[in-house]
Structure 1
């Protein structure tokens, strides 16, 4: 089926139950490099990405400028920590919904995460989510969510050989995901209830608790997609 539209999936707590493991591995990796005074008020950061938060804490603790060349060493440590935890599980219904979009709709899929890449791939693999690695964009060389989502969209255009998608729906569990979608002028579907009050305060149009409660016709109606 020709893919004329696109779904952009966040990963942590959108497709995989992994936010706590991710944050623990992330903090452990920072501490292993002497970054010990860590601001863990994640919502206080301008950009909610691993690379940007690492940069701010790296520079505050080590008193030198951050470089993206540090990412591979850090990513290796974080990945080692991730692998010590129990296997990541899917958010209810996530596997089925990814397969649904790929097999039964004209929506292509891609993945845009503020995580670093290798931990993100591990989560998807462990949760048995069907994915193509080249369609996963992470924060290894990008600081902002907008850059990450745009890059994921461009990867999807290349992979599915589409010049422009008619409709793009971004899906995420965080208020930063909603704000990114607004900044990029694309549709947004919120998932999970932990940020529901924040979502409602910013006028979210469509929201589900998990993928078991997903009805695509309802979502398209709420987002005013034909």
Structure 2
């Protein structure tokens, strides 16, 4: 089936119940680099990505410029810590919904996450989400969510052989996901219950508590997608 529309998916707490152990692994990896004091109110950061949070705290702690060359070791430490936790579980209905979209609709799927790359892959593998590694973009080489999403769209265009998608819808669980979608002029669907108040303040038109509530027909009607 030709894929002429695109759905972009965040991962943590959008598809996988993983934010708590992700945060623990992130803080563990920063401690490995001598960073003990970290502001964990992610909304206070200019960019809510692992690489940017690492950069900000590294420079504040060590009083010297951050280099992306540090990411490989950071990723290794963070991944090993993440693997020490029990298996990740899906946000209810995620696996079934992604299978449906891929196999029975004209929607392509790609992934855009503020996570470091290898833990992101692990989360999807552990819950059995049907995903194509070639269309997953993470923060290893980027600091901003906008850069990550744009990279994911480009990967999807290349993989599916589409010059330009007719419609693009972004799904996420956080305020930064809403902001990124609006900055890039994309439709947005809110997922999960923890940021419902933020979604309401941002006048998010379509919100689901989990994937068992998702309706393709409702989404297309709200966004006027044919």
**Mapped partners of 2:209, 2:41: distance in 1:** 24
Distance, in Å, in 2 between the alignment partners of 1:102 and 1:216 is: 13
TM-superposed deviation, 1:41: 1.3
TM norm structure 1: 0.99
Aligned residue number for residue 160 of structure 2 = 160
Q: Corresponding residue for 1:204?
A: 204
**In structure 1, what is the equivalent of residue 71 of structure 2?**
71
Structure 1 CA distance for aligned equivalents of residues 198 and 165 of structure 2: 29
Match of 1:151 in 2: 151
Structure 1 residue 224: Cα displacement: 2.2
Return the alpha-carbon distance in structure 1 between the equivalents of residues 76 and 147 of structure 2.
23
User: For structure 1, which runs of at least 5 residues remain unmatched after alignment?
Assistant: none
Q: Using the TM superposition, name which of 70-79 and 35-44 deviates more.
A: 35-44
Question: Structure 2 length as normaliser, TM-score?
Answer: 0.99
- Work out the CA distance in 1 between the residues paired with 2:54 and 2:202: 28
Question: For residues 117-168 of structure 1, what are the alpha-carbon distances to aligned partners after superposition, in whole Å with 9 as ceiling and x for unaligned?
Answer: 0000000000111111111100001010000000000000000000000000
Q: Which residue of 2 aligns with 1:16?
A: 16
2:171 is aligned to 171
Instruction: Output the CA distance in 2 between the equivalents of 1:6 and 1:217.
Output: 15
| Distance (whole Å) between structure 1 residues aligned to residue 219 and residue 208 of structure 2 | 9
Pairing 1:26-175 to 2, within 5 Å after superposition: 26-175=26-175
Q: Is the CA contact 1:206–1:223 (under 8 Å) kept in the aligned structure 2?
A: no
Q: How many pairs align?
A: 226
* Root-mean-square deviation over aligned CA pairs: 0.6
Q: Which residue of 1 aligns with 2:217?
A: 217
Give SS of 1:146's match: helix
- Structure 2 unaligned spans of 5+: none
Asked if 2 retains the 8 angstrom alpha-carbon contact of 1:98 and 1:129, the reply is yes
The ranges of structure 1 where at least 4 consecutive aligned residues each deviate by more than 6 angstroms after the TM superposition are none
- Contact kept, 8 Å, 1:14 with 1:191, in 2: the verdict is yes
